[in-house]
Chains A and B, each alone.
Chain A
């Protein structure tokens, strides 16, 4: 089922440029972040400058497509039919979002090219294995979080507003835009409940030559948070679907 959903979404996204429009922002954000870091003399933060836009693009694509799937399926009259099918809608959503997150990995290429062609910086990945594993785990977590958010989108027809409202707190708490250490102290423990904080730390660490520490703990945290998101998404979506079946608003556009 997951593979069928992935394949379906890849075909759909080929004809829906909006699904991958976040990729257009990656070169610009990378250039802005790199320019700020380099002009401040903070060469040590180059990793932040390239990893930040990548994680932002991938997570915003996940949230956007989750909202878009619900909205466009509702508009096309397919949402009711999907609910009426025997497949678990959470698995379907997760697979479809995962496909778009996988496309979001193209942002890596963009960020690396901007650093190289725009600033003459060749960013090496000394710990490529850690980088790859953490990136893959992050993709699963992004799909999980988007699935959780999708239940909210089923309930409301104002999905876009919620998408924006969800994404920026995620970036800030995840240390994607600014390092977590720069956040107020009282906020820092909260950031550990956001998978992006673990992902960003480990991805940046894998760009530095020194050994990466805390990989197992970080990986476990990302996967646990991903699993928790999917589980919560499943419970919440079941409740939401029952509610819209009860009040008859499932098909309302």
Chain B
């Protein structure tokens, strides 16, 4: 059985302005189709405004689609809303979604009641999850005193309160520091081992590569492709960047002539940036720089937007 199945899904919004009740139609999702196997961790990768959150909202039944169908564990999100709500745990990223004046334990017990867990089971489950996400020591502290990472772990505990087979994680590591994000990803690994179906939205390619079984790329409400994470890894290395200091014009020209170098540019601080556009070119460029005595070198991965630009703007993507 498929954990999540989306076919021809569309969602449009009318924009309102001060003077007009109904403005132009904005298409947040267009003919989106997606199949997530039960037990799969599926990444939904796209820049801001791609339609990731809109899809999560439809799957969590808080937003109705304007066309197409969406099913969770075989249940239609429009006609079988009650069944879907029992199956889905939702973790929205960011600061919102918790009662900050209450304690972590009070939050979880309340959400347990909203998921119709009986009192003793609600208490047991809340305690279990607090331990699992490492918040037992702060269980009776008000959420407003928590760090971003702690709030996000509590979000996850909230999403797991009813032990749902399907989890929607919408940008769960947004704003987290790297250590907290790594810990969070470790928990996602554990959830995968437990056999849960996870739909994880992110704009972080490294995160998608690290935790997902497959990744669907989405932009402006349209699915571009579904790829295995190793493809992301290839793109990350393929479209990497090298920043170096102490590179004179002659050396820069030499490096620019290397096969697979996309572009070179001088930064405002006097350093240079070399953009890589093909596999293996980074190693050759680094060898040139080191051989010329340049030791201040930094490599970095491209942003999602840069990869999109390369793939869609440059060569087109195999959809």
Contact = CB atoms under 8 A, between A and B. Distances in A.
Interface string A1-33: 100110010011001100000000000000000
A77 B94 CA distance: 10
Contacts of A246: 64
B98 A78 contact: yes
Given A12-B102, A77-B92, A248-B13, A83 B62 contact: yes
Interface in A76-106: 76-78, 80-87, 92
B114 A12 contact: no
B99 A76 contact: yes
Interface stretch (B80-88, B176-184, B223-231): B80-88
Nearest to A253: B96
B115 interface: yes
A86 B115 CA distance: 6
Interface string B94-106: 1011111110001
A86 B60 CA distance: 11
B2 interface: no
Nearest to B109: A4
A237 interface: no
B135 to A, nearest CB: 18
Given A85-B111, A87-B114, A87-B116, A80 B99 contact: no
Nearest to A96: B110
Given A76-B96, A77-B92, A77-B96, A85 B114 contact: yes
Contacts of B14: 247
Given A15-B101, A84-B85, A251-B62, 12 more contacts: A8-B109, A8-B113, A11-B106, A15-B102, A15-B142, A77-B92, A77-B97, A78-B98, A80-B92, A81-B90, A86-B85, A86-B162
A92 B115 CA distance: 11
A250 interface: yes
Given A77-B96, A250-B62, A4 B90 contact: no
Nearest to B91: A81
A78 B90 CA distance: 11
A41 B303 CA distance: 81
A192 B48 CA distance: 55
B216 interface: no
Nearest to A89: B114
A158 interface: no
Nearest to A13: B101
A15 B143 CA distance: 13
Nearest to B11: A248
B185 interface: no
Contacts of A245: 61-64
Nearest to A83: B62
B63 A1 contact: no
A70 B16 CA distance: 22
A242 B64 CA distance: 8
Contacts of B57: 80
9 contacts: A4-B112, A4-B113, A11-B102, A76-B100, A84-B85, A85-B85, A85-B114, A87-B114, A248-B13
Q: Which of A4, A12, A81, A251 has the most CB of B within 10 A?
A: A81
Contacts of A77: 92, 94, 96-97
